Structure 1
Amino acid sequence: MSDTDIQMPEAELRENEAIHDDEDRLSRAFVQSVLDRVEEGDAAGARALVEPLHPADVADLFELSPADMRPALVQALADLVDADVFAEMNDWVREGLVDALEPHEVAEIASELDTDDAVALIEDMDEEDQRAVLHAMEPEDRAAIEEALSYEEETAGRLMQRDLVAVPEHWLVRDVIDFVRSSDDLPTDFWEIFVVDIAHKPIGTLKGSWVLRARDDEPIVEVMQREQTLIPVDMDQEEVALRFQKYALISAAVVDRSGRLVGMITVDDILHIVQEEAGEDALLLSGAGDGDINEPLSSTIKTRMWWLFINLWTAILAAGVVAIFQESIARLVTLAVLMGIVNGMGGNAATQTMAVTVRALATNQLTGSNSWRMVVREWWIASANGLGLGLLMAIGCQLIYHDFWLSVVLFLAMVINSINAGLSGVLIPLGLARLKIDPAITSTVFVTTMTDTMGFFAFLGLATLFHLS
């Protein structure tokens, strides 16, 4: 097959349909064109289409392809699916492809990645497969990954890169320049040079621009910035992201328990963490698991069913409250019509407060020093909303049913459940956070239970008290 024949599919595609759509995502036509060539056995044609793509786009191609087509796709594209592509790939998709590779192939890919990306590639493998991959790696690479795997998941130790530039404090600027120019073992890209003392503890940082503008004979201790943000190796990745945001960091040194420099974290790693954490909290509040469309069906069903099973018991508890007042409901059917409004509005109000509280906790806006102010603030908001909406519903109830005391009961129930919802939405996440329990995971169950049971109890209890039935 000639070069002209190989390039023809790409030319045809560019003429008829763009590679990317209006939102800069791979177009449906492009993905289908690549898959068609793979199915036809035209590996050269598929490679010709994919070769101009950025590694992130190649990773997207795999994510947009059906799961049963991915093994054939990776075989057809061969050398185009390199370490950079695996680093950009969705976790579930990458895991599926890694399972299909031989240990020495995984080891080769991992050796070309930064330590943090290599760990992400290997950490979810079975223990036996992990050992096989690590055994196939070079001793230096294997030691770095084994050390990273020894740290807890979602900590700075798992996130950091081991490849960095560190120089002793007694050097001159010319020594740093000579070292950077002559050493072949330095990372390709770096933003800062870390200055360390004799115990390998970081004492300052050098930006590349400072080094270039300083005199050759100037000591680096006179040029470096002594103030720096150090990241403990066991710090949770969410807290690391908050420090990067708070101090506008581009990179930061990671230190072990003795204060020695063991790695660094860069802002590109943090961008992934921010995206993951933001989506994770929203999904945890709904009990939707990872919420990844590439997650295996069985895993998704198991996660969602467990969460719904827990919510089933909260619904049974709320139904039990209704059962207490079933005689009142039987005598005045209007109560059954209106109680859903009281309950539903309470749930919506609680969801708003809970979302704000969980976010404030996650971003460190809400701490022990201002938690009481937050509670009072939400009490005022809930009271105002309850009074306003309760009055509106009472007027509507009076116009429709012409029952003054029913309208009064509806008004009071709306106010009570609104305040209950506001306080539950803030106090429950705060309480869980104090107990070191992630409020994003469990708040919804408790808050829903509080609004359901209190909503029914307030409305039906008041109706019984006022002898409306």
Structure 2
Amino acid sequence: MSSDDFITDAEIAGDESAYTLDRKSINAILASVEADDQVLLTELMEPLHAADIADMLEQFNSGDRARLIRLYDREFDGEILSELDESIREEVISVLRPQVLADAVREMESDDVVDLVEDLTEPQQEAILDALEDADRVAVEQALAYPIYSAGRLMQREVAMAPEHWTVGEAIDHLRASDNLPEQFYHLVLVDPRLHPVGNVTLGKLMRSRREVPLLDLTEDTFRAIPATQAESEVAYAFNQYHLISAPVVDEEGRLVGVITIDDAMTVLDEEHEEDILRLAGVGEESSLSDRVIETTKRRFPWLFVNLATAILASLVIAQFEVALAQIVALAVLMPIVASMGGNAGTQSLTVAVRAIATKDLTGSNVWRVIRREVLVGLINGLVFALVMGIVGYIWFGSLVLGYVIAAAMVINLVVAGFAGTVIPVLLDRLGIDPALASGAFVTTVTDVVGFFAFLGLAAAILL
């Protein structure tokens, strides 16, 4: 592996001081690994943030990654594991010595341990669970009992809470004396005698208020409890929609079982956005630069096969106009333009619609208004480009009628693209099919078939 392959974000931005992991640091770290110099490696890694170390491990090949971990393992902490891409976590864990892994896991919050364990093989899960203390192991196993991608998996079990009848002074004294608080927290959760959360008090209000003030007088208006079985995508939406900082999680009986903080909710939101982008491109929802060739090939093959099938369908439409194509060669030259413009317009509408569905901005109450808007946009763009292509067709081939044909086909296809790009994702969503995953193939097929049929059909009817 050559260190010259690495270009950091800071270098791209032209400001290496904004990013600890610069090219010079990577080169020095690689040199220390190659020299088997543990002292120098530890010195070079010491100023790096856990996220930077995780980034670097993801960039290295398997051999260099293993050598670095073995040299650095005494300093390896749990935060690095939580920052690692899921695609290489198992590999890193398999390289770490059992005692180092145990020490790293014990440093992690319960939600981070759950996130780490749920994607591992059963033997590796057992190795990590065995490293935990009994109380922590029980907490993690209880979280793993909740459905995957649910709030129960996302929450941390450590909660800063207080009885609803306490005053500010009692709460502060309790927090100072407690040794079982989360490493970071933003609210004090108030609970009734049955452990039902009744409100949140921000630490800012708590510290500003006099000791005799009742906690109930300081509760936040934005308080809401989240069921442990709620989908994590819904949790992330609630945090984003209602500007939450943290929220208590409750079981089926409404009792407090954990808390979700904004950093975890925003991580889910980022993952949802990333999955939508990858699905729209047809490369799978868990693609990574660290994936192996075979894994990447298997993930992309089905969607390439779908594209092949749709391309064959479009070719069958073209085959119906063999006579027209044989007599007028200009049709073969111009028809890809019509299909391409329709495909691009459809993708634009599709992307807007899929994102609006994901953010719940596109609903039954406004769907027809959005469809009408996209159709009108397609019509206006179609008319403009129809004029351009009509002139191009006339100048290029000296045929005014041919210019009319491609202009009309352009208008038809862009209108259909705007309609299909919005309607297809909505229909798929209503049918319970992920629109980000399946819309692209359908929209491309519609615009190709309509584009070829409109252009060649009009040409055959008018020019022959």
Q: Fold match, TM over 0.5?
A: yes
Distance 1:299 1:253, change over 3 A: same
Q: Which residue of 1 aligns with 2:424?
A: 428
Q: Which amino acid aligns with 1:443?
A: S
Distance 2:280 2:222 in 1: 39
Shift of 1:331: 1.3
Q: Which residue of 2 aligns with 1:446?
A: 442
Q: Which amino acid aligns with 1:185?
A: N
Distance 1:390 1:23, change over 3 A: farther
Shift of 1:219: 2.6
Contact 1:31/1:64 (<8 A) preserved: no
SS at match of 1:184: coil
Shift of 1:95: 2.4
Q: Which residue of 1 aligns with 2:242?
A: 247
Report the more deviating stretch, 269-278 or 64-73: 269-278
Contact 1:110/1:121 (<8 A) preserved: no
Q: Which residue of 2 aligns with 1:408?
A: 404
Query: Structure 2: which 5+ residue stretches go unaligned?
Result: 1-14
Distance 1:298 1:272, change over 3 A: same
Q: Does residue 121 of structure 2 align to residue 117 of structure 1?
A: no
SS at match of 1:262: strand
Q: Does residue 284 of structure 2 align to residue 318 of structure 1?
A: no
Q: Which residue of 1 aligns with 2:456?
A: 460
Distance 1:86 1:392 in 2: 56
SS at match of 1:52: coil
Q: Which residue of 1 aligns with 2:263?
A: 268
Contact 2:33/2:68 (<8 A) preserved: yes
Contact 1:156/1:234 (<8 A) preserved: yes
1:343 to 315, 323, 339: 339
1:71 to 66, 73, 76: 66
Q: Does residue 134 of structure 2 align to residue 145 of structure 1?
A: no
Q: Does residue 205 of structure 2 align to residue 210 of structure 1?
A: yes
Q: Which residue of 1 aligns with 2:46?
A: 51
Query: Structure 1: which 5+ residue stretches go unaligned?
Result: 1-19
Q: Which amino acid aligns with 2:408?
A: L
Distance 2:21 2:59 in 1: 9
Contact 2:70/2:96 (<8 A) preserved: no
Contact 2:150/2:232 (<8 A) preserved: yes
- What are the Cα deviations for residues 10-64 of structure 1, in whole angstroms up to 9, with x where unaligned? xxxxxxxxxx836626222321221221221211111111112222222222123
Q: Which residue of 2 aligns with 1:361?
A: 357
Q: Does residue 157 of structure 2 align to residue 172 of structure 1?
A: no
Report the more deviating stretch, 34-43 or 205-214: 205-214
Distance 1:65 1:428, change over 3 A: same
Q: Does residue 366 of structure 2 align to residue 370 of structure 1?
A: yes
Shift of 1:292: 1.4
Shift of 1:339: 0.6
Q: Which residue of 2 aligns with 1:131?
A: 126
Report the more deviating stretch, 64-73 or 101-110: 101-110
Distance 1:292 1:368 in 2: 35
SS at match of 1:252: strand
Distance 1:202 1:390, change over 3 A: same
Report the more deviating stretch, 61-70 or 201-210: 61-70
Shift of 1:107: 4.2
Q: Does residue 155 of structure 2 align to residue 160 of structure 1?
A: yes
Contact 1:203/1:226 (<8 A) preserved: no
SS at match of 1:298: helix
- What are the Cα deviations for residues 94-140 of structure 1, in whole angstroms up to 9, with x where unaligned? 22101334566544433321122111211111123323432443221
Q: Which residue of 2 aligns with 1:31?
A: 26
SS at match of 2:159: coil
Q: Does residue 286 of structure 2 align to residue 293 of structure 1?
A: no
Contact 2:59/2:290 (<8 A) preserved: no
Q: TM-score when scaled to structure 2?
A: 0.92
Distance 1:188 1:136, change over 3 A: closer
Distance 1:418 1:464 in 2: 21
How many residue pairs get aligned? The number is: 449
Q: TM-score when scaled to structure 1?
A: 0.91
Contact 1:31/1:65 (<8 A) preserved: no
